[in-house]
Amino acid sequence: MPVTQTWWRLYVWDTRDLQKVRKVHSALYHSACVWDLQMFPTDGSQMFGSSEPFLTCSSDNTVRIWSSDAVHSANLLSNDLLQVLYMNDDTATLLDAEGTAITEGSRGIRSICVSPDGRHLASGDRNGTLRIHDLTCMKEILKAEAHDSEILSLEYSHPHTGMNLLATASRDRLIHVLDVEEDYGLLQTLDEHSSSVTSVRFAASDGKLRIISCGADKSLYIRTAHRTVRGTAFKRTHHVVRKTTPTHMDIDPTCKYAAVGCQDRSVRVINISSGKQKRSYKGSQTEDGGLLKVQMDPSGQYLATSCSDKNISLLDFRTGECVAAVFGHSEIITALSFSNDCRRLVSASGDSCVFVWRLAPELTDNMRERLSERRRHSGPNARHNPFRRCSASGFTLHRSPSIKSCSSETDREEDDDEDDDDDDEAVTTPERRKDSVEETTGAFDEGREWNPVKVCI
């Protein structure tokens, strides 16, 4: 079977009968570095007729939706490409034949995130522009000049929190918290970081909603939602400083721990409630480079890491034992994600390639067993909402002294007293004492203009 390739498209033809030449397979690749990827939420995955669709974004100014099984596709040109979203009319990036190595250009989509219900796609580009697309009709519904520099991380809050929020983090050191229910209006701006914010995540546990962020200033901030005279605001509860720079972060499914990948190739597991380090282990099996990405599997059993040496490691989250290691990308790995059914690991790279790795059946069985255990033990707490919306202008908080006060929170895990590591290099700054009323919070940035452009459909 002959193979033809043109402008980042690969075609495989069946020529056994020269009178009936037919295309067997085609692949429509990104034409530049792939910066981010995300699996589509389970609730809305049937929207595209595929059991495990996922999305990627690239410097070619496109977001592409793929099928991980490459079986169900309405696209006649490709078996695995479901949809392409073009962010503007500039097609120059699609015809770039200079190579796919990562450059310092200002074009392209840097980060993406899909809302938990699968209806909205948030994307941030390298100029700081935030776009919201309605995935039911593939139309852009909002565009805002949110940041002064590229948007490095996006995160939607989960529906069980009762709050529908979007957090955006940028190289301009700011984090914007947007209220999705109020047409993505600005709720709060957090400005504690003194350098680029590399990751931002929501975590809801113990009846509290928190925002965790890490940045190039070697800091990790934990903030808890409080009720103030202005409404809901996130106030700082812990500030953790390290001697090494955290490059990426993910939250385990229980929302109790944050796995932080660092430049020294270590993974540090931080207790979100107390701000203390629970454990630390090696995140790469080599002695070169630093960690770039960390990703928890849906069950919390394993942690995938990518290193600047272009390798991927799969670690046991609790022990740090390496259970698998793979390589194949020719450039650094920029994104990782597990499939919702625990059968695959998807990786994206600066070489413009997206790899779908099939996990060993033993690993899949372990993850599914862990998921079943978590569902059995979740009980009624799984539906407990720390917040519920009572009107269009505010939220009602469940009465909890620890939410209203500014005290540091204690660890409720039984094994934390034995396992928490008091690392010499860590400096943890908790909130002020319980009797303190004033609290250091992120600036509300009242002087900053927030004028999103709503696109009429």
In angstroms, what CA-CA distances link 86 with 60, 64, 108, 151? Answer: 9, 9, 10, 18
According to DSSP, the β-strands at 387-389 and 354-358 are unpaired
For CA atoms 449, 447, 165, 112, the dihedral sign is positive
State the pLDDT at residue 414.
38
The answer to whether residue 433 scores a pLDDT higher than 70 is no
Measured in Å, how far apart are the chain's first and last C-alpha atoms? 45
pLDDT of residue 14: 80
* pLDDT tens digits along 366-396: 999 999 998 887 755 444 454 544 433 333 3
Query: Confidence class of residue 82 from pLDDT cuts 50, 70 and 90?
Result: confident
CB 92 within 8 A of CB 68: no
pLDDT above 90 covers a percentage of the chain that reads: 51
Position 452 confidence tier, pLDDT thresholds 50, 70, 90: low
Encode pLDDT of 238-297 as tens digits: 999 988 999 999 999 999 999 999 999 999 999 999 999 999 999 988 888 889 999 999
Eight-state DSSP code of residue 43: G
Amino acid at 419: D
Q: What angle do CA 382, 388, 394 make, to 5 degrees?
A: 155
Non-local (6+) Cβ contacts of 258 within 8 A are 201, 203, 212, 220, 249, 250, 251, 252, 269, 270, 272
Segment 284-333, tens digit of pLDDT: 888 888 899 999 999 999 999 999 889 999 999 999 999 999 988 989 99
Q: Edge-to-edge, what's the strand order for the sheet holding 185-190?
A: 151-156, 165-170, 175-179, 185-190
Query: Domains of the chain by range and CATH?
Result: 3-365 (2.130.10.10)
pTM over 0.85: no
DSSP string covering 239-255, please?
A: EEE-SS-EEEEEE-TTS
Closest CA to 212 of 255, 180, 243: 255
Nearest Cα to 155, choosing from 270, 292, 248?
248
Question: Which region, left, alpha or beta, applies to residue 231 given φ > 0 means left and ψ of -120 to 50 means alpha?
Answer: left
Residue type, 397: L
| Bigger pLDDT: 410 vs 162 | 162
User: What local confidence, expressed as pLDDT, does residue 212 receive?
Assistant: 97
Helical residues (DSSP H) of 22-137, grouped into ranges = none
Which helix H or strand E contains 13, and what residues bound it?
strand 9-14
Name the residue among 227, 214, 68 with its Cα closest to residue 153. 214
